[in-house]
Copies of this chain bind each other. A is one copy, B any other.
Amino acid sequence: MRITILGGGGFLGRRLARRLAADGVLRTAGGERRIEALTLFDLAAPAPVEAPFPVRTLGGDVADPAALAAAIPPGTDVVFHLAAVVSAAAEADYDLGLHVNLQGTLAVVQACRALPAPPRVVFTSSVASFDGGQEARLPDDARQLPTNSYGAQKAMGELLLHDATRRGLLDAVSIRLPTVIVRPGRPNKAASSFVSAILREPLLGLPAECPVGEAFALWVCSPRAAVEWFLHAAGMDTALLGADRGVNPPGRSATVAKLLEALADVAGPEARALVRHVPDPAVAAIVGEWPAAFTATRARKLGFAEQEPLDEVVRAFVDEDLAATRAERGL
């Protein structure tokens, strides 16, 4: 089995690559299949990972057909398409968002279409492709009426992959990812960056600002759950999905208060005391439109794993990512 990760240098791309390297196989509906090759593609060539199979790393523009043809060579069985310009960045730079999120996904379709056999494509769509806000608990067939350019471009990408699947050019599963916490490293340009920051920064002994109130609810998931969902989507029998290739995975609806409670459980009240509430209307305007909850009934039936409790999410960050984050930031 030959696998490509687009966005392979990103936070989730690297975790996924390490997991594939550790497993050496992909569990599919037809049984375990040995991984023969992995390509990691990102804007700059990602650092390689140690693996029991060859790992290629490539740098390039995801919207460039030649770069994509190199990243998705003949024989590719699975493409994880995680390459994206995130929410606040796509809002700030409209052309960049269209280029990467829309034209990039179109280039993925064209590269897959050139293969002798249609590959599985696992696409990271987003909770940001929906509206509804704090009161929403969206059903599986909810309409996508995005309130930000990132979400609109993700919804367009889903339509493109949905139609390409119907045409037999590829075999897509689009996972509408919740806000992923706890992100290591530094704050990024996602409007939801604060959700990780209010946990990560105090764990580093640093202050953090929370732009929304304690009662504000978010649909979140852990990096561990996200990677489990990617692997499940890569190996599942897609006949079970029928024509509808969009999946709302079983994330968790959490208020800021609950997140801070989990922080206090793991790191004590002094960690929690490092979080100050500093309203930010620009951030609140974006994340305030995102639905706070989903039923996620279909995904559960399809075998997408449940999300672990919030304190375990925080503890996993401490165990797996805190030291590296500290080192990366020179703390």
CB of B162 within 8 A of CB of A244, answer: no
Q: Copy number of this protein in the oligomer? A: 2
Taken residue by residue from 143 to 170, chain A's Cβ proximity to chain B (1 for < 8 Å, 0 otherwise) reads as 1111111001101100110110011000
CB of B160 within 8 A of CB of A146, answer: no
CB of A160 within 8 A of CB of B167, answer: no
CB of A142 within 8 A of CB of B145, answer: no
- Does A271 sit within 8 A of B, measured CB to CB? no
Complex CA–CA separation, A102 to B105 (angstroms): 13
- Does A42 sit within 8 A of B, measured CB to CB? no
Complex CA–CA separation, A107 to B252 (angstroms): 39
CB of A143 within 8 A of CB of B146, answer: no
Q: Which residues of B contact A144 (CB under 8 A)?
A: 143, 159
Q: Which residues of B contact A148 (CB under 8 A)?
A: 163
A108 to chain B minimum Cβ distance, whole angstroms, is 13
CB of A149 within 8 A of CB of B163, answer: yes
With A159-B159, A163-B152 in contact, do A145 and B98 touch (Cβ < 8 Å)? Answer: no
Q: Which residues of B contact A155 (CB under 8 A)?
A: 159
Q: Would you give 5 A-B contacts (Cβ < 8 Å), ordered by A?
A: A102-B106, A144-B159, A145-B162, A155-B159, A156-B156
